[in-house]
């Protein structure tokens, strides 16, 4: 099997940005959308507050990432590729990236200082097009109408790394895990994709010997109790472990809401006003749980983009699982 | 347009492909609450109140940007919908410092309407005291009222100005005036802001004070067409009688004289020919200078076109100056006690009147500008009732013949004067056509001595910029260009009354404005002052267009 896209299909590679969408299908859709201009974007915005893994990959495997981008461009017939990096990555790798010979033009873009939402794919297009920094409505999806209105392939750093591995027949179902929190060996590890969360913690010598819970899949990810960790990680490769005894419930929710309050784009009411209000209630240590539930509902069903739509999850699962008697 | 059918709340509705669910619902008398929607803007979809359910799709959807598809089944009201609407409205209100008492919007407020529509009972807005921004001498912006809908940013960007920016402050994006750009005071942000955060700089209190002192000689001028939006506040029909009654009211308040800005137009148009001839000699398209925001736009953003600007002052400045001069010289009115006040739908004029180029020997030709909004406040305060002011017509100089019903009529009248002057013949008919691909722009041409004079009229700076591009390629594309900065012209000026619901940008509400177009000869007085203006230094700006 020589054809890259068929290899990707056979490997069953799923996007590593968090969405977990089939890479094959995404590429196929860009290939199948007719247009003389197509673009590739590599997303290196990595906006997680805890840990990092794309940074680790850039540090250790830049060549493969560049190779992956290059292969994607060839495969879809892209006119230009953009590598979109958060500020510190941009500064660190700017030089090295410039020295990689890549056939078609490559634009290196620095993520503006707009927080977590700066990694949202339609905002990335807005940044590159120098438009206002609000997400776009989907559909249309980027694969049909993306950058400059053209079919656009966007994957994150890790995905491009594995594309390169697949092309060299060196991929055997691994992914990267960034592990942080109340553990002994924080860091980035490359392990099997179908390892359970418990296995990942154990293999890395990080399985706690105390009562704990973890936020899995990044800052928008669900809160898991150990009993729920007997399954592979879904979403972005982040595991953040908390000691159940030490965690102050107010500060946990305060930190979470602060992050989303500062990191949203303020375009829409539930997210812009909602996280602010949650944050205020946490700061004052006076949480009106009915109000909190209302806001989470509104976020889930009425916010504009995925940031708001997904961010109810850690709150809801934390309240249900950790603050069992939270209503006091 | 392709016909499709959808159901709303179980009712079959025929509609067109491409229409949004909100448009269709409203057309069919189904009211969906919504604060941020404006008919002439791209939906910002920020308020998240116009939520509906769509069968087969998870979650709730904003109807203002959901395009109908054939067979779509829409529900506009359910327990879930009304619950989430209330939650969102409460979040919106937590950003909006409630000061309805002093708010220009209160009567037609989309927020107040949404509160009613959503059946909200307890409202506890947070108090905040962020500093108020001053936009030159024309406007203020109160961030404590802003609900982050972003309409103002969009409309200011459409104008090509980009004066309003977002800045993160304590985790919130806040609207901030740019440090590097100039506001042109078109007031479009104000008319598109649902929260009343923008306000014209108040001149009403000063004008009221002037009127109280009976030794003052206060003169009002207005164009009865352009302030027509006030009409319905005065009487069911805005016609000669109601205009007269309104003028009587001003006299009753203490004004010595009320006259029609159209006289200024007459004076200006006669002189405009000189400028067009200059343009022809210099191979330059002449831009009319009636709209101060347009002048400011050129000066700030396209200075290479400053020589194209007509050096003629704008009509209300000219008529103000002429009346002042006449009253001082012929009727010996004390200049210190003489004040001319323009009532206009325009915010920019508040800046225009203080410019050095619009003064004579340092003295303002117009002393104050009241917007239609301020006029409304004045009427309210005095509990205006038309029946009390029907009698009498003293010191009122309102044109009944050809008060220019629109900017187009004004420019056409200018063109026929020009034609007559240059060719010696009457211009019988003029056909305007839309300029392809440019919004709000029309053009026409006349042949004079074998030479074609091309003229364009553009409303809104989006279109005007396109014309400037054409002129950059070929300076002779047009010989005469009229730009009104506000999309829709002064009828949609920044000082007009905000209307609830959606702004209708077709101008037909202004059509057939005068019930009777009886031609009456105007007062000798008016002819007098027009003649008087001829040899004075009032019409032309002494040093051309230059801001000091
Ligand atoms: S949900 Fe709304 S406010 Fe939040 S990031 Fe998305 S668009 Fe911005
Ligand atoms: S007045 Fe006009 S130029 Fe000034 S901020 Fe408002 S929209 Fe922009
Ligand atoms: S000032 Fe008004 S128009 Fe601008 S964002 Fe705030 S509420 Fe919207
Ligand atoms: S178009 Fe009319 S209302 Fe608007 S700024 Fe110009 S003169 Fe004023
Ligand atoms: S979101 Fe539709 S009107 Fe505001």
Question: Domain with B54 in it: what CATH number?
Answer: 3.10.20.740
With a CB cutoff of 8 Å and minimum separation 6, the contacts of B531 are none
Are B474 and B488 within one domain? yes
Beta-carbon separation of B173 and A262 below 8 A:
no
pLDDT of residue A99: 84
Q: Closest partner residue to A266 among B45, B88, B148, by Cβ?
A: B148
Does residue A294 fall inside a structural domain? yes
Distance of CA B317 to the CA centre of its chain: 17
**What proportion of chain B, given as a percentage, has pLDDT over 90?**
54
- Say if ligand 2 is within 6 A of residue B495 CB: no
Does residue B122 fall inside a structural domain? no
Does residue B99 fall inside a structural domain? no
Are B329 and B359 within one domain? yes
Are A235 and A259 within one domain? no
Are A101 and A40 within one domain? yes
- In chain B, what residues touch A303 (CB-CB under 8 Å)? 48
| Per-residue pLDDT tens digits for B323-351 | 898 899 888 999 999 999 999 999 999 99
Q: What is the ipTM of this complex?
A: 0.94
pLDDT of residue A94: 92
Does residue A215 fall inside a structural domain? yes
Closest CA to B496 of B375, B407, B360: B375
Distance in angstroms (rounded) separating the CA atoms of residues A174 and A165: 10
- CA-nearest residue of chain B to A136? B44
Q: What is the four-CA torsion angle of B333, B335, B337, B339, rounded to 10 degrees?
A: 100
Are A273 and A242 within one domain? no
Are A261 and A285 within one domain? yes
> What is the token pair recorded at A239?
């595991």
Please name the helix (run of DSSP H) or strand (run of DSSP E) that holds residue A273, with its range, or none.
helix A269-283
Q: Closest partner residue to A273 among B65, B83, B92, by Cβ?
A: B92
Q: What is the pLDDT along chain A (328 residues), one digit of tens a residue?
A: 679 999 999 999 999 998 889 999 999 999 999 999 999 999 999 999 998 999 999 999 999 999 999 999 999 999 999 999 999 999 999 999 988 877 778 999 999 999 999 999 999 999 999 999 999 999 999 999 999 999 999 999 999 999 999 999 999 999 999 999 999 999 999 999 999 999 999 999 999 999 999 999 999 999 999 999 999 999 999 999 999 999 999 999 999 999 999 999 999 999 999 999 999 999 999 999 999 999 999 999 999 999 999 999 999 999 999 986 544 3
CATH number for A301: 1.20.1440.230
Q: Closest partner residue to B60 among A133, A267, A301, by Cβ?
A: A301
- Say if ligand 3 is within 6 A of residue B175 CB: yes
CATH number for A103: 3.40.50.11540
If pLDDT is split at 50, 70 and 90, which confidence band does B95 have? confident
CATH number for B187: 3.30.70.20
Are B328 and B380 within one domain? yes
Does residue A22 fall inside a structural domain? yes
Are B215 and B325 within one domain? yes
Closest CA to B44 of B193, B163, B154: B154
Are B362 and B495 within one domain? yes
Distance in angstroms (rounded) separating the CA atoms of residues A260 and A248: 19
- For residue A79, which phi and psi values (nearest 5 degrees)? -80, -35
Does residue A328 fall inside a structural domain? no
The last residue of one of the domains, among B171, B201, B231, is: B201
Does residue A86 fall inside a structural domain? yes
Please name the helix (run of DSSP H) or strand (run of DSSP E) that holds residue A254, with its range, or none.
helix A249-263
- For residue B277, which phi and psi values (nearest 5 degrees)? -65, -40
Are B382 and B243 within one domain? yes
Task: Please check whether residue A299 touches B, CB under 8 A.
Answer: no
pLDDT of residue B512: 33
Beta-carbon separation of A300 and B59 below 8 A:
yes
- Say if ligand 2 is within 6 A of residue B175 CB: no
- In chain A, what residues touch B41 (CB-CB under 8 Å)? none
Are B55 and B70 within one domain? yes
What residues make up the domain containing A158? Answer: 4-167
Separation in Å, CA of B115 to nearest CA in chain A: 15
Identify the residues whose C-beta falls under 6 Å from ligand 5. Answer: B 34-37, 43, 45-50, 62, 64
Distance in angstroms (rounded) separating the CA atoms of residues B351 and B365: 13
Identify the residues whose C-beta falls under 6 Å from ligand 4. Answer: B 186, 291, 293, 345-346, 348, 484-486, 489-490, 493-494
Question: Would the pLDDT of B524 be above 60?
Answer: no
- For residue A265, which phi and psi values (nearest 5 degrees)? -95, -5
User: What residues of chain B have any CB closer than 8 angstroms to a CB in chain A?
Assistant: 44-49, 51, 59-60, 62, 65, 80, 83-84, 87-88, 91-92, 94-95, 148, 150, 153, 157, 166, 168, 171-173
> What does pLDDT average to over chain B?
85
Question: Would the pLDDT of B108 be above 80?
Answer: no
Are B426 and B498 within one domain? yes
| Per-residue pLDDT tens digits for B436-484 | 988 888 888 888 777 888 989 899 999 999 999 999 999 999 999 999 9
Does residue A95 fall inside a structural domain? yes
- Structural domain count, chain B: 3
Task: Suggest the residue from A113, A258, A302, A304 to mutate for an interface test with chain B (most B CBs closer than 10 A).
Answer: A302
For the ranges B56-65, B212-221, B495-504, the lowest mean pLDDT is seen at B495-504
* Maximum distance among all Cα pairs of chain A, rounded to whole angstroms: 62
**A92 and A46 Cβ atoms separated by less than 8 Å:** no
Are A255 and A293 within one domain? yes
pLDDT of residue B511: 34
Please name the helix (run of DSSP H) or strand (run of DSSP E) that holds residue B456, with its range, or none.
strand B451-459
Are A38 and A133 within one domain? yes
Are B475 and B499 within one domain? yes
**Cα B198 to middle of ligand 3, angstroms:** 8
Q: Residue B20 gets which letter from DSSP?
A: B
The last residue of one of the domains, among A125, A147, A167, is: A167
Token pair 């090509």: residue = B160
Separation in Å, CA of A312 to nearest CA in chain B: 14
Task: Please check whether residue A244 touches B, CB under 8 A.
Answer: no
- Say if ligand 2 is within 6 A of residue B292 CB: no
CATH number for B353: 3.40.950.10
The last residue of one of the domains, among A102, A137, A167, is: A167
What residues make up the domain containing B383? Answer: 206-534
If pLDDT is split at 50, 70 and 90, which confidence band does B513 have? very low
Q: Count of residues for chain B?
A: 548
pLDDT of residue B509: 28
Beta-carbon separation of A137 and B45 below 8 A:
yes
The last residue of one of the domains, among A141, A167, A193, is: A167
Separation in Å, CA of B97 to nearest CA in chain A: 14
CATH number for A181: 3.10.20.600
Q: What number does the ligand 3 atom closest to the CA of B151 have?
A: 3
Are A31 and A84 within one domain? yes
Are A9 and A73 within one domain? yes
Closest CA to B346 of B321, B374, B367, B322: B374
Does residue A9 fall inside a structural domain? yes
For residues B152-167, give the mean pLDDT. 96
Distance in angstroms (rounded) separating the CA atoms of residues B275 and B421: 13
For residues B167-186, give the mean pLDDT. 94
Are A153 and A242 within one domain? no
Are B134 and B84 within one domain? no
Does residue B250 fall inside a structural domain? yes
Q: Give me the sign of the Cα torsion angle B101, B103, B106, B111.
A: negative
Closest CA to B71 of B83, B84, B57, B81: B57
Distance in angstroms (rounded) separating the CA atoms of residues B97 and A84: 39
Are A233 and A317 within one domain? no
If pLDDT is split at 50, 70 and 90, which confidence band does B408 have? low
Are B89 and B135 within one domain? no
Are B296 and B330 within one domain? yes
| Cβ atoms < 10 Å from Cβ of B303 | 9
Does residue B105 fall inside a structural domain? no
> What is the token pair recorded at B269?
């148009």
Q: Which residues of A218-246 are buried (b: 16+ CB within 10 A; e: fewer)?
A: bbbbbbbebebbeeebebbbbbbbbeeee
Are A192 and A267 within one domain? no
Does residue B121 fall inside a structural domain? no
- Structural domain count, chain A: 3
| Per-residue pLDDT tens digits for A191-205 | 999 999 999 999 999
**Cα B181 to middle of ligand 3, angstroms:** 19
Beta-sheet strands, E only, within A30-115: 39-44, 80-85, 106-110
- How many alpha carbons fall within 13 Å on the CB side of residue B267? 32
pLDDT of residue B387: 87
Burial class (CB in 10 A: 0-12, 13-18, 19+), B483: buried
**Cα B151 to middle of ligand 2, angstroms:** 11
Are A116 and A186 within one domain? no
- In chain B, what residues touch A261 (CB-CB under 8 Å)? 171
The last residue of one of the domains, among B158, B174, B201, is: B201
The better pLDDT of the pair B97, B147 is held by: B147
Does residue B540 fall inside a structural domain? no
The last residue of one of the domains, among B166, B201, B236, is: B201
- Which of B165, B188, B347 should be mutated for ligand 2, with most atoms under 8 A from CB? B188
Beta-carbon separation of B91 and A274 below 8 A:
yes
| Per-residue pLDDT tens digits for B282-311 | 999 999 989 999 999 999 999 999 999 999
């Amino acid at each position: 099997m020589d054809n890259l896209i068929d290899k990707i299909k056979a490997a069953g590679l799923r996007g590593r940005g968090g969405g977990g969408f089939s890479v094959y299908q995404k590429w196929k859709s860009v290939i199948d959308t007719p247009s003389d201009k197509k673009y590739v974007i590599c997303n290196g915005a990595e906006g997680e507050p805890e840990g990092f893994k794309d940074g680790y990959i850039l540090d250790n495997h830049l060549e493969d990432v560049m190779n992956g981008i290059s292969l994607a461009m060839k495969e879809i017939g892209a006119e230009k590729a953009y590598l979109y990096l958060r500020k510190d990555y941009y500064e660190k790798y700017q030089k090295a990236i410039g020295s990689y010979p890549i056939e078609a033009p490559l634009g290196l873009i620095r993520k503006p200082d707009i927080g977590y939402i700066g990694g949202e794919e339609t905002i990335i297009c807005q940044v590159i097009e120098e438009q206002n920094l609000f997400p776009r409505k989907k559909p249309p999806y980027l694969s049909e109408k993306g950058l400059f209105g053209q079919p656009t392939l966007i994957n994150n750093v890790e995905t491009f790394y594995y594309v390169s591995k697949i092309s060299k027949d060196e991929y055997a179902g691994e992914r990267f895990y960034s592990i942080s929190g109340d553990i002994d060996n924080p860091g980035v590890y490359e392990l099997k994709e179908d390892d359970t969360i418990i296995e990942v913690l154990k293999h890395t010598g990080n399985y706690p010997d105390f009562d704990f819970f973890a936020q899995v899949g990044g800052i928008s990810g669900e809160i898991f109790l150990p009993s729920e960790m007997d399954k592979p990680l879904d979403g972005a490769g982040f595991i953040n472990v908390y000691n159940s005894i030490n965690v102050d419930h107010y500060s946990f929710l305060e930190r979470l809401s602060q992050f989303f309050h500062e990191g949203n784009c303020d375009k829409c009411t539930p997210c812009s006003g909602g996280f602010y209000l949650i944050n205020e209630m946490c700061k004052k240590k006076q949480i009106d749980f009915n109000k909190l539930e209302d806001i989470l509902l509104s976020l889930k069903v009425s916010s504009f983009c995925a940031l708001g739509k997904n961010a109810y999850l850690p709150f809801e699962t934390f309240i249900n699982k950790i603050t069992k008697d939270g209503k006091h | 347009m392709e016909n499709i059918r959808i159901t709303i709340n179980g009712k079959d509705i025929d509609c067109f492909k491409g229409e949004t669910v909100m448009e269709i619902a409203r057309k069919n008398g189904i009211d969906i609450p919504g604060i941020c929607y404006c008919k002439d803007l791209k939906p910002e979809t920020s308020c998240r109140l116009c939520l509906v359910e769509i069968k087969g799709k998870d979650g709730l959807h904003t109807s203002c940007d959901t395009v109908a598809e054939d067979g779509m089944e829409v529900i506009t009201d359910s327990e879930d919908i009304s619950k989430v609407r209330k939650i969102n409205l409460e979040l919106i209100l937590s950003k909006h410092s409630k000061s309805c008492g002093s708010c220009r919007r209160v009567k037609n407020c989309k927020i107040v309407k949404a509160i009613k529509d959503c059946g909200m009972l307890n409202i506890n807005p947070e108090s905040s005291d962020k500093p108020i921004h001053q936009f030159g001498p024309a406007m203020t912006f109160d961030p404590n009222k802003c609900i982050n809908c972003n309409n103002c940013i969009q409309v200011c960007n459409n104008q090509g100005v980009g004066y309003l920016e977002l800045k993160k402050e304590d985790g919130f994006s806040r609207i901030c005036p740019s440090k590097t750009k100039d506001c042109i005071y078109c007031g479009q942000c104000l008319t598109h802001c649902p929260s009343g955060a923008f306000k014209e700089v108040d001149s009403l209190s000063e004008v009221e004070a002037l009127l109280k002192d009976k030794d003052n000689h206060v003169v009002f001028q207005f164009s009865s067409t352009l302030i027509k939006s006030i009409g319905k506040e005065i009487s069911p029909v805005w016609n000669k009688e109601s205009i007269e009654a309104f003028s009587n009211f001003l006299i009753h308040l203490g004004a010595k004289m009320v006259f029609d800005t159209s006289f200024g137009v007459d004076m200006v148009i006669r002189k405009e020919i000189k400028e067009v001839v200059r343009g022809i000699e210099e191979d330059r398209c002449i831009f009319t200078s009636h709209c101060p925001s347009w002048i400011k736009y050129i000066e700030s953003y396209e200075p290479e076109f400053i020589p194209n600007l007509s050096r003629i002052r704008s009509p209300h400045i000219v008529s103000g100056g002429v009346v002042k001069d006449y009253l001082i010289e012929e009727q010996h009115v004390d200049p210190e006690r003489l004040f001319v006040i323009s009532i206009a739908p325009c915010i920019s004029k508040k800046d225009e009147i203080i410019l050095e180029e619009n003064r004579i020997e340092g003295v303002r030709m117009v002393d104050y500008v009241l917007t239609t909004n301020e006029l409304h406040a004045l009427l309210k305060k005095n509990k205006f009732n038309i029946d009390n002011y029907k009698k009498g017509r003293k010191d009122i100089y309102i044109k009944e013949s050809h008060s220019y019903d629109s900017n187009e009529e004004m420019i056409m009248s200018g063109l026929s004067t020009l034609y007559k002057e240059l060719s010696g013949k009457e211009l019988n008919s003029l056909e305007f056509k839309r300029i392809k691909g440019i919004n709000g722009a029309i053009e026409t041409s006349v042949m004079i001595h074998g030479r074609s004079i091309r003229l364009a009229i553009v409303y809104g700076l989006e279109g005007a910029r396109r014309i400037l591009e054409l002129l950059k390629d070929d300076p002779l594309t047009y010989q005469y260009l009229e730009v009104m900065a506000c999309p829709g012209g002064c009828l949609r000026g920044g000082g007009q009354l905000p209307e609830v619901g959606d702004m209708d940008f077709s101008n037909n509400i202004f059509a057939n404005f005068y019930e009777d177009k009886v031609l009456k000869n105007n007062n000798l007085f008016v002819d007098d002052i027009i003649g008087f203006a001829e040899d004075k230094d009032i019409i032309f700006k002494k040093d051309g267009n230059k801001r000091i």
